[in-house]
Amino acid sequence: LKETDSLSLQSIAFPALGTGGLNYEPNFVANSLFDTVKRYNVQNPTTNIELVVCVVYQDQMYQTFVAAARDGARRKGNEANKITLKTSGSTKIGNSHIKVLVGDLTQEQVDVLVHTCSHSLQLKKTSGLATEILNTAGWNIQTDLDNNYPNGLKNGEFAVTNGYGLGCKKVYHGKVLDFTANGSNDRPEKSE
């Protein structure tokens, strides 16, 4: 959000970060997204960010995110029934509207798309969303990553590229911590 705001961009779209291959709990991810947007708006009351879109890939995930949005709306006294339609479930937090959609992140028309990727930033060598971003954006996005981030990313870092063939100005490619079943890296919802 901070990087998007610093570039005076107004809209950003996220997938349900971590709920795919990283297997994070969807409810934890949904609440984290809404809490982060709320905290950012409180700390930055003049933010340029008007729209935060969370694009989820299945109906069950959508229901989890809408439930989190309704809960957040109830806690701040808004009418929770604003979130009804699958194509336009939304709530307002500070200056930003949060919209939850079931769909394809690569088809969103926003200023910034966010996704997670491997530390090597080799989009073709992964599966899922990173590969879809490469297929939609075209090879220039991989060339940009190779040229500007030859050492890849560490956990918690992100790379910024242009959107190329995507409907966005920028793409943020982030590396989040993997966790293992044997507990050597605790899942984020377990570490609170």
Q: What is the pLDDT of residue 85?
A: 34
Q: What are the tokens at 111?
A: 């200023």
Of 55, 108, 62, which is closest to residue 84 (Cα–Cα)? 62
Runs of H (alpha helix) within 1-138 = 2-6, 26-43, 59-75, 129-137
User: What is the torsional sign of CA 163, 166, 168, 171?
Assistant: negative
Q: CA 24 to CA 47: how far, in whole Å? A: 29
Q: What is the pLDDT of residue 192?
A: 47
Residue 173 has φ and ψ, to the nearest 5°, of -100, 110
Surface-to-core class of residue 147, CB atoms within 10 Å of its CB (0-12 exposed, 13-18 middle, 19+ buried): exposed
Q: What is the pLDDT of residue 87?
A: 44
Q: What is the pLDDT of residue 25?
A: 81
pLDDT in tens, the chain (192 residues): 999 999 999 999 999 888 877 778 888 888 888 889 989 999 999 999 999 998 887 666 777 777 776 666 566 554 434 433 344 467 788 888 888 888 889 999 999 999 999 999 999 988 788 999 999 999 999 999 999 999 999 999 999 999 999 999 999 999 987 654 444 555 455 544
What CATH number belongs to 1-192? 3.40.220
Q: CA 100 to CA 91: how far, in whole Å? A: 9
Of 40, 94, 49, 93, which is closest to residue 70 (Cα–Cα)? 93
Domain range list for the chain: 1-192
Q: What is the pLDDT of residue 2?
A: 94
